[in-house]
Homo-oligomer: A and B are copies of this chain.
Amino acid sequence: MSYGDSREKILSAATRLFQLQGYYGTGLNQIIKESGAPKGSLYYHFPGGKEQLAIEAVNEMKEYIRQKIADCMEGYADPAEGIQAFLKELSCQFSCTEDIEGLPVGLLAAETSLKSEPLREACHEAYKEWASVYEEKIVQAGCSEEHAKEASTVINAMIEGGILLSLTAKNSTPLLYISSCIPDLLKR
């Protein structure tokens, strides 16, 4: 395919690096080098430069995580069990240093929410999408829509915060503590 996989390779390297190192911690040169894509092709595929690349990277993270959450929720009738399955998956990365994927969306969101409105909106959309997956499942389990809306936001916050704490502690304990309080959170 003439419109080959260079674009794809650049975007996937950018997604990985932005998630691990953040927006300002990641240089375009590093992205090109790690992607293995030809150097001259970046601004051809991403004429909007670094900002466009970051926005598309956030969309990649959004879809990747949304799929993971959805897969976990499908496996159980009880939403709490589905969320705990997702937390278990997240906690695995802290067993081996090389497996660490970082803080999806959160790092970019914290760096750029006050500096780039389109990037902030992309991050906001990611959080809304993840919340809607939780929400739907919680409503299906018989909870009120109001409770489901609140709970899904709180779950998003706990998980992002839990990854952050696990990253800082270099172990999965915070994520496991969070997992154990999910059932109580949903009981109402």
Q: Give the docked Cα–Cα distance between A76 and B169 (Å).
A: 30
Given A106-B110, A124-B168, A184-B187, 20 other A-B residues pairs in contact with their CB atoms under 8 A? A25-B115, A100-B114, A107-B110, A110-B164, A113-B168, A124-B169, A127-B169, A150-B180, A151-B181, A153-B173, A153-B177, A154-B174, A154-B177, A156-B161, A156-B165, A157-B161, A157-B164, A157-B178, A158-B158, A159-B161
Q: Using CB atoms, name the residue of chain B closest to A107.
A: B110
Q: Is A167 an interface residue (CB 8 A)?
A: yes
Q: Is there contact, CB below 8 Å, between B109 and A167? A: yes
Interface size of A by Cβ–Cβ distance < 8 Å? 48
Q: Give the docked Cα–Cα distance between A133 and B168 (Å).
A: 19
Q: Using CB atoms, name the residue of chain B closest to A112.
A: B25
* Contact of A20 with B114 at beta-carbon distance under 8 Å, contacts A177-B153, A181-B185 already known: yes
A-B contact pairs, 26 of them (CB 8 A): A21-B111, A22-B22, A22-B111, A107-B107, A109-B167, A109-B168, A110-B110, A110-B167, A113-B168, A120-B170, A124-B169, A151-B181, A153-B177, A153-B178, A154-B158, A154-B174, A156-B161, A156-B174, A157-B164, A158-B161, A159-B161, A160-B160, A160-B161, A184-B187, A184-B188, A185-B185
Q: Which residues of B contact A32 (CB under 8 A)?
A: none
* Closest chain B CB from A56 CB (angstroms): 18
Q: Is A61 an interface residue (CB 8 A)?
A: no
Q: Is there contact, CB below 8 Å, between B107 and A167? A: no
Q: Which residues of B contact A150 (CB under 8 A)?
A: 177, 180-181
Q: Is A23 an interface residue (CB 8 A)?
A: yes
Q: Give the docked Cα–Cα distance between A44 and B19 (Å).
A: 35
Q: Is there contact, CB below 8 Å, between A168 and B127? A: yes
Q: Is A85 an interface residue (CB 8 A)?
A: no
* Contact of A165 with B160 at beta-carbon distance under 8 Å, contacts A150-B180, A177-B153 already known: yes
